[in-house]
Structure 1
Amino acid sequence: MLYFVPLLLSSAAIAITYKALLDPNFGLGAGLHLEFLSQDWLGKGNLAVGVVIFVVSWQFIPFHSLIYQGGVRQIPTTMYEAASIDGAGRIRQFFSITVPQLKYTIITSSTLMVVGSLTFFDLIFVLTAGGPGDATRVLALDMYKRGFQANLMGPASVIAVLLVVLGLLLALLLRRLGGSTTASQQEGA
Protein backbone atom coordinates (compact mmCIF):
# COMPACT_ATOMS: atom_id res chain seq x y z
CA MET A 1 0.00 0.00 0.00
CA LEU A 2 2.85 2.43 0.77
CA TYR A 3 4.06 2.00 -2.80
CA PHE A 4 0.82 3.54 -4.17
CA VAL A 5 0.56 6.44 -1.72
CA PRO A 6 2.25 8.94 -4.11
CA LEU A 7 -0.33 8.13 -6.76
CA LEU A 8 -3.19 8.80 -4.36
CA LEU A 9 -1.91 12.14 -3.07
CA SER A 10 -2.69 15.40 -4.81
CA SER A 11 0.10 16.97 -6.82
CA ALA A 12 -0.22 20.20 -4.87
CA ALA A 13 0.26 18.39 -1.54
CA ILE A 14 3.30 16.58 -2.91
CA ALA A 15 4.77 19.86 -4.18
CA ILE A 16 4.26 21.59 -0.83
CA THR A 17 5.89 18.66 0.97
CA TYR A 18 8.93 18.54 -1.31
CA LYS A 19 9.25 22.33 -1.21
CA ALA A 20 9.45 22.15 2.59
CA LEU A 21 11.82 19.17 2.56
CA LEU A 22 14.19 20.84 0.09
CA ASP A 23 14.25 24.24 1.78
CA PRO A 24 17.97 25.07 2.25
CA ASN A 25 17.40 26.78 5.62
CA PHE A 26 14.73 24.69 7.33
CA GLY A 27 14.41 21.53 5.23
CA LEU A 28 15.68 18.01 5.56
CA GLY A 29 19.32 18.90 4.89
CA ALA A 30 19.42 21.60 7.55
CA GLY A 31 17.61 19.40 10.06
CA LEU A 32 19.99 16.47 9.55
CA HIS A 33 23.03 18.76 9.15
CA LEU A 34 23.86 17.27 5.76
CA GLU A 35 25.63 19.82 3.59
CA PHE A 36 24.84 18.16 0.23
CA LEU A 37 21.10 18.27 1.02
CA SER A 38 21.25 21.90 2.18
CA GLN A 39 21.88 23.40 -1.26
CA ASP A 40 19.26 25.52 -3.00
CA TRP A 41 17.54 22.74 -4.95
CA LEU A 42 14.75 24.92 -6.29
CA GLY A 43 16.84 28.09 -6.74
CA LYS A 44 19.25 26.80 -9.40
CA GLY A 45 17.91 26.05 -12.87
CA ASN A 46 19.53 22.69 -13.54
CA LEU A 47 18.79 21.42 -10.04
CA ALA A 48 15.17 22.63 -10.18
CA VAL A 49 14.55 20.76 -13.44
CA GLY A 50 16.03 17.61 -11.91
CA VAL A 51 13.85 17.98 -8.81
CA VAL A 52 10.71 18.43 -10.91
CA ILE A 53 11.54 15.34 -12.99
CA PHE A 54 12.26 13.33 -9.83
CA VAL A 55 9.05 14.37 -8.07
CA VAL A 56 6.84 13.73 -11.12
CA SER A 57 8.51 10.34 -11.62
CA TRP A 58 8.11 9.50 -7.93
CA GLN A 59 4.41 10.28 -8.17
CA PHE A 60 3.61 8.31 -11.32
CA ILE A 61 5.96 5.29 -11.23
CA PRO A 62 3.39 3.27 -9.22
CA PHE A 63 0.74 3.86 -11.90
CA HIS A 64 2.96 2.71 -14.76
CA SER A 65 4.26 -0.19 -12.69
CA LEU A 66 0.68 -1.33 -12.25
CA ILE A 67 0.09 -1.13 -16.00
CA TYR A 68 3.19 -3.22 -16.71
CA GLN A 69 2.36 -5.71 -13.97
CA GLY A 70 -1.05 -6.26 -15.57
CA GLY A 71 0.59 -6.68 -18.98
CA VAL A 72 3.10 -9.23 -17.69
CA ARG A 73 0.38 -11.25 -15.98
CA GLN A 74 -1.43 -11.62 -19.32
CA ILE A 75 1.53 -13.37 -20.93
CA PRO A 76 0.82 -17.11 -21.01
CA THR A 77 3.26 -19.12 -18.89
CA THR A 78 3.30 -21.81 -21.57
CA MET A 79 5.39 -19.50 -23.76
CA TYR A 80 8.08 -19.34 -21.07
CA GLU A 81 7.89 -23.09 -20.48
CA ALA A 82 8.33 -23.79 -24.20
CA ALA A 83 11.25 -21.38 -24.44
CA SER A 84 12.83 -22.98 -21.38
CA ILE A 85 12.53 -26.42 -22.95
CA ASP A 86 14.14 -25.04 -26.11
CA GLY A 87 17.08 -23.84 -24.01
CA ALA A 88 16.38 -20.11 -23.87
CA GLY A 89 17.77 -18.35 -20.80
CA ARG A 90 16.07 -15.60 -18.80
CA ILE A 91 17.58 -12.78 -20.88
CA ARG A 92 16.60 -14.42 -24.16
CA GLN A 93 13.08 -15.03 -22.84
CA PHE A 94 12.80 -11.40 -21.81
CA PHE A 95 13.72 -10.05 -25.25
CA SER A 96 11.95 -12.75 -27.27
CA ILE A 97 8.77 -13.18 -25.24
CA THR A 98 8.21 -10.50 -22.63
CA VAL A 99 9.05 -7.38 -24.64
CA PRO A 100 7.07 -8.40 -27.77
CA GLN A 101 4.08 -9.42 -25.67
CA LEU A 102 4.19 -6.08 -23.84
CA LYS A 103 4.15 -4.10 -27.10
CA TYR A 104 0.69 -2.62 -26.59
CA THR A 105 1.31 -2.05 -22.90
CA ILE A 106 4.47 -0.10 -23.76
CA ILE A 107 2.55 1.95 -26.35
CA THR A 108 -0.24 2.71 -23.85
CA SER A 109 2.17 3.65 -21.06
CA SER A 110 4.30 5.78 -23.40
CA THR A 111 1.24 7.59 -24.73
CA LEU A 112 0.02 8.36 -21.22
CA MET A 113 3.47 9.63 -20.21
CA VAL A 114 4.01 11.83 -23.27
CA VAL A 115 0.53 13.33 -23.39
CA GLY A 116 0.42 13.70 -19.61
CA SER A 117 3.75 15.51 -19.57
CA LEU A 118 2.39 18.08 -22.03
CA THR A 119 -0.40 19.07 -19.66
CA PHE A 120 1.42 18.78 -16.34
CA PHE A 121 0.81 21.99 -14.47
CA ASP A 122 -0.16 21.83 -10.80
CA LEU A 123 2.98 20.33 -9.28
CA ILE A 124 5.28 22.66 -11.20
CA PHE A 125 3.14 25.69 -10.39
CA VAL A 126 3.20 25.00 -6.64
CA LEU A 127 6.80 23.74 -6.46
CA THR A 128 8.66 26.30 -8.58
CA ALA A 129 6.09 28.56 -10.30
CA GLY A 130 8.16 28.05 -13.45
CA GLY A 131 11.36 29.34 -11.92
CA PRO A 132 14.11 30.01 -11.28
CA GLY A 133 13.87 32.30 -14.25
CA ASP A 134 11.98 30.15 -16.72
CA ALA A 135 13.92 26.92 -16.08
CA THR A 136 10.86 24.82 -15.20
CA ARG A 137 8.27 26.69 -17.25
CA VAL A 138 6.25 24.24 -19.34
CA LEU A 139 3.58 25.02 -21.95
CA ALA A 140 0.65 24.42 -19.61
CA LEU A 141 2.15 26.78 -17.03
CA ASP A 142 2.92 29.35 -19.73
CA MET A 143 -0.69 29.12 -20.88
CA TYR A 144 -1.89 29.80 -17.33
CA LYS A 145 0.49 32.71 -16.79
CA ARG A 146 -0.42 34.35 -20.09
CA GLY A 147 -4.15 33.78 -19.76
CA PHE A 148 -4.84 34.42 -16.10
CA GLN A 149 -1.93 36.48 -14.81
CA ALA A 150 -1.23 38.65 -17.86
CA ASN A 151 -4.86 38.57 -19.08
CA LEU A 152 -3.74 37.59 -22.59
CA MET A 153 -6.48 35.09 -23.45
CA GLY A 154 -5.65 35.02 -27.18
CA PRO A 155 -2.07 33.74 -26.83
CA ALA A 156 -3.19 31.42 -24.01
CA SER A 157 -5.85 29.95 -26.30
CA VAL A 158 -3.25 29.41 -29.01
CA ILE A 159 -1.07 27.52 -26.55
CA ALA A 160 -4.07 25.41 -25.51
CA VAL A 161 -4.83 24.50 -29.12
CA LEU A 162 -1.14 23.73 -29.73
CA LEU A 163 -1.12 21.43 -26.70
CA VAL A 164 -4.16 19.53 -28.00
CA VAL A 165 -2.73 19.21 -31.52
CA LEU A 166 0.74 18.25 -30.26
CA GLY A 167 -0.74 15.67 -27.87
CA LEU A 168 -2.86 14.18 -30.64
CA LEU A 169 0.06 14.05 -33.08
CA LEU A 170 2.36 12.43 -30.53
CA ALA A 171 -0.30 9.87 -29.58
CA LEU A 172 -0.86 9.01 -33.25
CA LEU A 173 2.90 8.80 -33.83
CA LEU A 174 3.31 6.40 -30.92
CA ARG A 175 0.44 4.30 -32.22
CA ARG A 176 1.94 4.29 -35.70
CA LEU A 177 5.39 3.32 -34.39
CA GLY A 178 3.83 0.44 -32.48
CA GLY A 179 1.85 -0.74 -35.48
CA SER A 180 -1.91 -0.39 -35.50
CA THR A 181 -3.23 -3.91 -35.53
CA THR A 182 -6.29 -5.25 -33.78
CA ALA A 183 -4.80 -8.67 -33.02
CA SER A 184 -4.99 -9.60 -29.39
CA GLN A 185 -2.01 -10.33 -27.19
CA GLN A 186 -2.78 -14.00 -26.95
CA GLU A 187 -0.56 -16.95 -27.56
CA GLY A 188 0.40 -17.21 -31.18
CA ALA A 189 -1.21 -13.90 -32.19
Structure 2
Amino acid sequence: MVSRKNKWIPFLFLLPSLLFLGIFIYIPLIQNFYNSLFEFSVFSQTKEFVGLKAFKNLFQDQIVTTAFINNIKYAVISVLFQVFFALVLAAILEDKLFRRAAPVLRIIYFVPVMISISVIALLFGFIYNPQIGILNSFLELIGLENLAKPWLGNSTTSIYAVIAMSQWQSIGFITMLFIVAIQKIPKELYEAANIDGAGKIRKFFSITVPQVKETMFVNLLITVTGSMLVFNEPYILTNGGPGFSSMTLAVHMYQEGFVKDNMGYASAIATLIFILTAVFAVIQIKVSGTGKEE
Protein backbone atom coordinates (compact mmCIF):
# COMPACT_ATOMS: atom_id res chain seq x y z
CA MET A 1 0.00 0.00 0.00
CA VAL A 2 1.41 3.39 -1.06
CA SER A 3 1.86 5.84 1.81
CA ARG A 4 0.54 9.40 1.61
CA LYS A 5 4.09 10.69 1.51
CA ASN A 6 4.99 8.60 -1.55
CA LYS A 7 1.82 9.63 -3.39
CA TRP A 8 3.26 13.12 -3.86
CA ILE A 9 6.53 11.91 -5.41
CA PRO A 10 5.17 11.76 -9.03
CA PHE A 11 3.91 15.33 -8.70
CA LEU A 12 7.36 16.45 -7.55
CA PHE A 13 8.83 15.05 -10.77
CA LEU A 14 6.21 16.97 -12.76
CA LEU A 15 6.82 20.22 -10.86
CA PRO A 16 9.87 21.45 -12.89
CA SER A 17 8.04 21.06 -16.21
CA LEU A 18 4.89 22.68 -14.80
CA LEU A 19 6.95 25.63 -13.55
CA PHE A 20 8.65 25.92 -16.94
CA LEU A 21 5.29 25.89 -18.77
CA GLY A 22 3.78 28.34 -16.31
CA ILE A 23 6.62 30.86 -16.49
CA PHE A 24 7.30 30.76 -20.23
CA ILE A 25 3.89 29.89 -21.72
CA TYR A 26 0.81 30.35 -19.53
CA ILE A 27 1.82 33.54 -17.71
CA PRO A 28 2.84 35.25 -21.00
CA LEU A 29 -0.50 34.15 -22.53
CA ILE A 30 -2.41 35.77 -19.69
CA GLN A 31 -0.21 38.86 -19.87
CA ASN A 32 -0.76 39.10 -23.63
CA PHE A 33 -4.55 39.00 -23.20
CA TYR A 34 -4.28 41.63 -20.47
CA ASN A 35 -2.23 43.86 -22.80
CA SER A 36 -4.89 43.54 -25.52
CA LEU A 37 -7.32 45.42 -23.27
CA PHE A 38 -5.17 48.57 -23.45
CA GLU A 39 -3.89 51.01 -26.07
CA PHE A 40 -0.18 51.68 -25.68
CA SER A 41 3.12 51.79 -27.51
CA VAL A 42 6.49 50.24 -26.66
CA PHE A 43 7.71 53.38 -24.92
CA SER A 44 4.42 54.36 -23.28
CA GLN A 45 4.66 55.29 -19.62
CA THR A 46 0.93 54.69 -19.20
CA LYS A 47 -1.69 52.45 -20.77
CA GLU A 48 -5.19 53.53 -21.79
CA PHE A 49 -7.83 50.93 -20.93
CA VAL A 50 -10.13 50.29 -23.92
CA GLY A 51 -11.68 46.95 -22.97
CA LEU A 52 -12.51 44.66 -25.88
CA LYS A 53 -12.21 47.43 -28.48
CA ALA A 54 -9.19 45.75 -30.10
CA PHE A 55 -11.11 42.49 -30.56
CA LYS A 56 -14.04 44.40 -32.06
CA ASN A 57 -11.61 45.99 -34.52
CA LEU A 58 -10.36 42.53 -35.51
CA PHE A 59 -13.71 41.71 -37.10
CA GLN A 60 -13.70 45.01 -38.99
CA ASP A 61 -10.09 44.74 -40.18
CA GLN A 62 -10.00 43.60 -43.81
CA ILE A 63 -6.30 42.77 -43.47
CA VAL A 64 -7.12 40.26 -40.73
CA THR A 65 -9.64 38.57 -43.05
CA THR A 66 -7.12 38.40 -45.90
CA ALA A 67 -4.40 37.14 -43.56
CA PHE A 68 -6.68 34.45 -42.11
CA ILE A 69 -7.61 33.22 -45.61
CA ASN A 70 -3.91 33.08 -46.50
CA ASN A 71 -3.20 31.06 -43.35
CA ILE A 72 -5.97 28.64 -44.34
CA LYS A 73 -4.44 28.33 -47.82
CA TYR A 74 -1.11 27.60 -46.12
CA ALA A 75 -2.73 24.89 -44.01
CA VAL A 76 -4.60 23.17 -46.85
CA ILE A 77 -1.67 23.12 -49.28
CA SER A 78 0.77 22.11 -46.53
CA VAL A 79 -1.45 19.19 -45.50
CA LEU A 80 -1.60 17.98 -49.11
CA PHE A 81 2.14 18.21 -49.72
CA GLN A 82 3.86 18.02 -46.33
CA VAL A 83 1.66 15.23 -44.99
CA PHE A 84 0.01 13.19 -47.73
CA PHE A 85 2.66 13.59 -50.42
CA ALA A 86 5.40 13.14 -47.80
CA LEU A 87 3.81 9.84 -46.75
CA VAL A 88 3.78 8.62 -50.35
CA LEU A 89 7.39 9.75 -50.76
CA ALA A 90 8.43 7.96 -47.56
CA ALA A 91 6.71 4.74 -48.70
CA ILE A 92 8.53 4.94 -52.05
CA LEU A 93 11.90 5.47 -50.37
CA GLU A 94 11.30 2.45 -48.13
CA ASP A 95 10.35 0.23 -51.07
CA LYS A 96 12.79 -2.56 -52.01
CA LEU A 97 13.21 -1.03 -55.46
CA PHE A 98 14.87 2.09 -53.97
CA ARG A 99 16.64 0.42 -51.05
CA ARG A 100 20.16 1.05 -52.38
CA ALA A 101 19.53 4.67 -53.36
CA ALA A 102 17.35 5.46 -50.34
CA PRO A 103 20.14 6.79 -48.03
CA VAL A 104 21.29 9.28 -50.67
CA LEU A 105 17.72 10.31 -51.52
CA ARG A 106 16.92 10.87 -47.82
CA ILE A 107 19.85 13.26 -47.54
CA ILE A 108 18.78 15.10 -50.71
CA TYR A 109 15.24 15.59 -49.41
CA PHE A 110 16.39 16.56 -45.91
CA VAL A 111 19.08 19.11 -46.90
CA PRO A 112 16.57 22.01 -47.38
CA VAL A 113 15.46 21.58 -43.75
CA MET A 114 18.97 22.42 -42.55
CA ILE A 115 19.36 25.56 -44.69
CA SER A 116 18.67 28.94 -43.11
CA ILE A 117 15.33 30.47 -44.10
CA SER A 118 17.14 33.67 -45.08
CA VAL A 119 19.33 31.78 -47.55
CA ILE A 120 16.30 29.95 -48.95
CA ALA A 121 14.38 33.22 -49.36
CA LEU A 122 17.35 34.71 -51.24
CA LEU A 123 17.49 31.60 -53.45
CA PHE A 124 13.79 31.73 -54.28
CA GLY A 125 14.02 35.46 -54.84
CA PHE A 126 16.32 34.63 -57.77
CA ILE A 127 14.05 31.79 -58.92
CA TYR A 128 10.98 34.06 -58.98
CA ASN A 129 12.81 37.05 -60.52
CA PRO A 130 10.70 38.14 -63.54
CA GLN A 131 13.75 39.05 -65.69
CA ILE A 132 16.50 36.56 -64.82
CA GLY A 133 14.57 34.02 -62.76
CA ILE A 134 14.94 30.28 -63.42
CA LEU A 135 11.18 29.69 -63.29
CA ASN A 136 10.24 32.14 -66.04
CA SER A 137 13.26 31.07 -68.12
CA PHE A 138 12.14 27.44 -67.85
CA LEU A 139 8.59 28.29 -68.88
CA GLU A 140 9.92 30.14 -71.93
CA LEU A 141 12.20 27.20 -72.75
CA ILE A 142 9.28 24.74 -72.92
CA GLY A 143 7.06 27.13 -74.87
CA LEU A 144 4.87 28.33 -71.99
CA GLU A 145 6.12 31.91 -71.94
CA ASN A 146 2.52 33.12 -71.64
CA LEU A 147 2.53 31.72 -68.08
CA ALA A 148 5.63 33.72 -67.09
CA LYS A 149 4.89 36.54 -64.66
CA PRO A 150 6.33 38.49 -61.70
CA TRP A 151 5.43 35.79 -59.18
CA LEU A 152 6.13 37.82 -56.04
CA GLY A 153 4.89 41.08 -57.53
CA ASN A 154 1.52 39.73 -58.62
CA SER A 155 -1.23 39.93 -56.01
CA THR A 156 -2.79 36.70 -57.32
CA THR A 157 0.34 34.52 -57.28
CA SER A 158 2.42 36.02 -54.44
CA ILE A 159 0.92 33.93 -51.62
CA TYR A 160 1.21 30.71 -53.65
CA ALA A 161 4.84 31.51 -54.50
CA VAL A 162 5.58 31.94 -50.79
CA ILE A 163 3.75 28.71 -49.91
CA ALA A 164 5.70 26.80 -52.60
CA MET A 165 8.97 27.85 -51.00
CA SER A 166 7.72 26.63 -47.64
CA GLN A 167 6.79 23.21 -49.07
CA TRP A 168 10.23 22.84 -50.66
CA GLN A 169 11.94 23.45 -47.34
CA SER A 170 9.67 21.51 -44.98
CA ILE A 171 8.63 18.36 -46.81
CA GLY A 172 11.92 16.58 -46.05
CA PHE A 173 11.39 16.78 -42.29
CA ILE A 174 7.89 15.27 -42.41
CA THR A 175 9.13 12.60 -44.84
CA MET A 176 11.83 11.54 -42.37
CA LEU A 177 9.25 11.20 -39.58
CA PHE A 178 7.15 8.96 -41.80
CA ILE A 179 10.20 6.90 -42.78
CA VAL A 180 10.94 6.18 -39.11
CA ALA A 181 7.31 5.13 -38.58
CA ILE A 182 7.29 2.88 -41.66
CA GLN A 183 10.51 1.18 -40.56
CA LYS A 184 8.78 0.17 -37.31
CA ILE A 185 5.95 -1.64 -39.10
CA PRO A 186 6.30 -5.43 -38.61
CA LYS A 187 7.64 -7.05 -41.81
CA GLU A 188 5.29 -9.98 -41.24
CA LEU A 189 2.35 -7.81 -42.30
CA TYR A 190 3.88 -7.16 -45.71
CA GLU A 191 4.91 -10.80 -46.08
CA ALA A 192 1.36 -11.93 -45.37
CA ALA A 193 0.06 -9.41 -47.90
CA ASN A 194 2.50 -10.75 -50.52
CA ILE A 195 1.20 -14.27 -49.92
CA ASP A 196 -2.35 -12.99 -50.47
CA GLY A 197 -1.23 -11.41 -53.74
CA ALA A 198 -1.70 -7.78 -52.68
CA GLY A 199 -0.05 -5.15 -54.86
CA LYS A 200 1.99 -2.15 -53.74
CA ILE A 201 -0.98 0.24 -53.76
CA ARG A 202 -3.18 -2.18 -51.78
CA LYS A 203 -0.38 -2.71 -49.21
CA PHE A 204 0.07 1.06 -48.92
CA PHE A 205 -3.59 1.74 -48.08
CA SER A 206 -4.24 -1.46 -46.08
CA ILE A 207 -1.00 -1.69 -44.09
CA THR A 208 1.19 1.43 -44.28
CA VAL A 209 -1.48 4.10 -43.77
CA PRO A 210 -3.20 2.43 -40.76
CA GLN A 211 0.14 1.61 -39.13
CA VAL A 212 1.43 5.20 -39.29
CA LYS A 213 -1.82 6.70 -37.95
CA GLU A 214 -0.19 8.15 -34.82
CA THR A 215 2.68 9.68 -36.79
CA MET A 216 0.21 11.12 -39.31
CA PHE A 217 -1.68 12.79 -36.45
CA VAL A 218 1.54 14.33 -35.11
CA ASN A 219 2.51 15.56 -38.58
CA LEU A 220 -0.96 17.00 -39.18
CA LEU A 221 -0.79 18.79 -35.84
CA ILE A 222 2.68 20.18 -36.59
CA THR A 223 1.69 21.25 -40.09
CA VAL A 224 -1.67 22.89 -39.32
CA THR A 225 -0.51 24.73 -36.20
CA GLY A 226 2.65 25.78 -38.03
CA SER A 227 0.51 27.18 -40.84
CA MET A 228 -1.34 29.38 -38.35
CA LEU A 229 1.97 30.68 -36.98
CA VAL A 230 3.88 31.12 -40.26
CA PHE A 231 5.94 34.32 -40.31
CA ASN A 232 9.43 33.94 -41.78
CA GLU A 233 8.56 33.02 -45.36
CA PRO A 234 6.05 35.80 -46.18
CA TYR A 235 7.95 38.41 -44.17
CA ILE A 236 11.30 37.80 -45.86
CA LEU A 237 10.00 37.25 -49.41
CA THR A 238 7.20 39.82 -49.70
CA ASN A 239 6.63 41.47 -46.29
CA GLY A 240 2.97 40.69 -46.85
CA GLY A 241 2.77 42.39 -50.24
CA PRO A 242 2.07 43.41 -52.85
CA GLY A 243 -0.58 45.32 -50.93
CA PHE A 244 -1.78 42.76 -48.39
CA SER A 245 -2.09 39.83 -50.81
CA SER A 246 0.45 37.59 -49.06
CA MET A 247 -0.17 38.85 -45.52
CA THR A 248 -0.45 36.30 -42.72
CA LEU A 249 -1.69 36.83 -39.17
CA ALA A 250 1.82 36.66 -37.71
CA VAL A 251 3.19 39.22 -40.19
CA HIS A 252 0.22 41.50 -39.53
CA MET A 253 0.80 41.19 -35.78
CA TYR A 254 4.48 42.11 -36.22
CA GLN A 255 3.68 45.14 -38.38
CA GLU A 256 1.04 46.42 -35.96
CA GLY A 257 3.31 45.99 -32.95
CA PHE A 258 6.79 46.92 -34.18
CA VAL A 259 6.16 49.04 -37.29
CA LYS A 260 2.99 50.95 -36.33
CA ASP A 261 3.83 50.73 -32.60
CA ASN A 262 0.28 49.66 -31.75
CA MET A 263 1.10 47.06 -29.12
CA GLY A 264 -2.44 46.67 -27.76
CA TYR A 265 -3.88 45.72 -31.14
CA ALA A 266 -0.88 43.47 -31.85
CA SER A 267 -1.60 41.66 -28.58
CA ALA A 268 -5.20 41.12 -29.72
CA ILE A 269 -3.98 39.61 -32.99
CA ALA A 270 -1.61 37.36 -31.01
CA THR A 271 -4.54 36.22 -28.87
CA LEU A 272 -6.55 35.47 -32.03
CA ILE A 273 -3.66 33.38 -33.40
CA PHE A 274 -3.51 31.41 -30.14
CA ILE A 275 -7.27 30.76 -30.15
CA LEU A 276 -7.27 29.61 -33.78
CA THR A 277 -4.28 27.35 -33.22
CA ALA A 278 -5.80 25.83 -30.09
CA VAL A 279 -9.17 25.26 -31.82
CA PHE A 280 -7.57 23.52 -34.80
CA ALA A 281 -5.45 21.37 -32.47
CA VAL A 282 -8.48 20.29 -30.41
CA ILE A 283 -10.47 19.49 -33.56
CA GLN A 284 -7.65 17.31 -34.88
CA ILE A 285 -7.34 15.48 -31.56
CA LYS A 286 -11.09 14.80 -31.45
CA VAL A 287 -11.35 13.74 -35.09
CA SER A 288 -8.27 11.49 -35.07
CA GLY A 289 -9.14 9.80 -31.77
CA THR A 290 -5.43 9.32 -31.22
CA GLY A 291 -4.30 7.55 -28.07
CA LYS A 292 -7.58 5.65 -27.66
CA GLU A 293 -7.58 1.90 -27.41
CA GLU A 294 -9.26 0.17 -30.32
| TM-score normalized by the length of structure 1 | 0.88
The correspondence of residues 73-92 of structure 1 with structure 2, limited to 5 A, is 73-92=183-202
Contact 1:67 1:105 in 2 (8 A): yes
Query: What amino acid sits opposite 2:117 in the alignment?
Result: S
Query: What amino acid sits opposite 1:16 in the alignment?
Result: L
CA distance in 2, matches of 1:7, 1:39: 28
CA distance in 2, matches of 1:29, 1:87: 44
Partner residue of 1:51 out of 161, 165, 169: 161
Structure 2: segments with no counterpart, 5+ residues: 1-106
Alpha carbons of 1:171 and 1:82: their partners in 2 closer, same or farther (altered >3 Å)? same
What's 1:15 paired with?
121
Contact 1:71 1:105 in 2 (8 A): yes
Alpha carbons of 1:36 and 1:14: their partners in 2 closer, same or farther (altered >3 Å)? farther
Query: What amino acid sits opposite 2:254 in the alignment?
Result: Y
Contact 1:6 1:60 in 2 (8 A): yes
Structure 1 position 4 matched with structure 2 position 90: no
CA distance in 2, matches of 1:47, 1:166: 25
What's 1:72 paired with?
182
Task: Tell me the C-alpha RMSD between the 2 structures.
Answer: 2.2
Structure 1: segments with no counterpart, 5+ residues: 184-188
Partner residue of 2:277 out of 158, 167, 171: 167
What's 2:235 paired with?
125
CA distance in 1, matches of 2:267, 2:171: 31
CA distance in 2, matches of 1:17, 1:72: 33
What's 1:28 paired with?
134
Deviation at 1:175, TM superposition (A): 1.6
Q: Which runs of 4+ in 1 moved over 3 A?
A: 26-38
Alpha carbons of 1:23 and 1:88: their partners in 2 closer, same or farther (altered >3 Å)? closer
The correspondence of residues 147-166 of structure 1 with structure 2, limited to 5 A, is 147-166=257-276
Partner residue of 1:110 out of 203, 212, 220: 220
CA distance in 2, matches of 1:30, 1:114: 31
Percent identity over paired residues: 38
Describe the superposition over 1:46-93 as per-residue Cα deviations: whole angstroms up to 9, x where unpaired. Answer: 221221111000000100110111111111110111222233332222
